[in-house]
Structure 1
Amino acid sequence: MQTHRVGNALAAFSFMLWGLLPLYYQFLPQANINDLLALRIIFSVPFMFAVMVILRRRMPSLATLWQDKRSLLMSALAGLIMCVSWYAFTWAMTHDQVLAASLGFFINPLFAITLGVLFLKEKLTLAQKAAVVLATMGIAYQVWYYGELPWISLIMGSFFALYGLCKKFIRYDALTSVTLEAALLAPIALAYVLITGFMGTSTALASDSNTLMLYIGSAPITLAPLIFFALAISRTSLTMVGLMQYIEPTLQFLLAVFLFGEMFDEVKAISFGFIWLGLILCSLEAISKMFHRPVRPA
């Protein structure tokens, strides 16, 4: 019981940190997203190595990693997919589109449900079917009214769901796979930084020291929640994690509307309403299952 309480607290804390990330990016308005992505990847590697040494007292051997080539390949693919999702997220954070990021994370579970059906042969419950239909209606309403798709939200939600699907096929532990994802992409990111630095086209390297440190700081500031999440996942149930994941987009939604003053008009209210209704149905179903588990005979 004590372990579950610790796990729940760690999970809630990780989602709170993710939800408060928009506050950090307010110090980097109109940031060069390519520079930001490259520096985040590069500095993620030493940061994750340090975390693994502190928490594990050792690093996994290269021979052990090489033995599982499928996991190695899937880690590289997961890293590439995460780059797309993170690129969209960062663009939203630095271009006054926090509400779009919030929508992306609200619809992510529904993309995950769909991928589970398509690739993992999972069966949809009645509540999940209703949630997918309601989310489709919410997005369709925005498209009908605005005449365009909410691309940033859709890219974030779908690619983060694809990232989660890749994780299903990786047998390394969470910290090792996250470290590998950055390490495998680091040479490309380093080459980009060196080339743009040499050509004098790097916004980050040409900025003042405080701004440069903010670029570099995006690595630990975005990885810290992931570490707490990795520590939580083995200490609590996936059901609780699934319910608490809505802390993140809820905080981002509140920041966008009440602190950053982003427009939340009637169209978005109706669109979000459809999606929230679907998520409420899924959450109520999950809670019902938690409290009505069959008792196993002794």
Structure 2
Amino acid sequence: MRNILHRDLGLHSYFNCWIPHNLTDDQRHKRVHFATEFLENLNGASDYLLAPIAGGGVLKAALSQLRPTEATPHPSVKPPGVKVSTKLYVEYGLKSMSSTNLPPNWVQRTSRSHNRDYFFNTVTRESQWDPPTEADVESTTIHNSGDGAPTQVRASHLLVKHRDSRRPSSWKEANITRSREEALALLDGYRQQIVSASGGDGQVEQREFSRLASQHSDCSSAKAGGDLGSFGRGQMQKPFEDAAFGLAVGRMSGPVVTESGVHIILRTA
């Protein structure tokens, strides 16, 4: 049987056993949700290949919404094999599987560790247990829509580098050897500390963010508590820019993957 997902880090056997060809549609949906949550944590790692297999109609249908510019034939396989990046798979492929009418950029996912659904913003990388409210949407819209869209934002970040970062060294460590998965785990721990110190209204405790950034960020901005100052479009790497401009003031992103490493971002103005 051909593997449904191939990548160059040796995960093909993992997915081969999780999404076999003989599952029912319901079972396959559940496995796809698991794979998506896993891929989310590896977003930006490398490209994935969706290969044609027996019973793969569910995934083909999910990817059928991709525009032609977002899916191109993989040179090593014959059509209908489709090469699609993790980001495109997660942000576009699973939209057709959502059973809830959600605001733009929000999707519903299932947390295996907590065995419950949660809601994820594919632009800002925010996640929350409760469905996004009108206030959540309006808050982002006010800051990011129409003629009132900002030309600049101000943000702080906490960066954790890994061995595959563009420059795997920092003011703390001359040679960074941790894996991307280890970097994501560290970042998640810092994010949970910040969330725990924050109120229940979604506003992030900036002092805790600054404290952790000053101690743990692999960016030189750690000296300023992670503060990057104000910046406009085109000044940051695209995933970072999209997340920062997509956030409302006082809100924190989920993990954002760039060539520099993995970040959490707090928009401050």
TM-score w.r.t. length of structure 2: 0.27
More strand by share: 2
Give the number of the structure whose alpha-carbon radius of gyration is greater.
Answer: 1
Q: Which has the higher helix share?
A: 1
Structure number with higher relative contact order (C-alpha < 8 Å, ≥ 6 residues apart)? 1
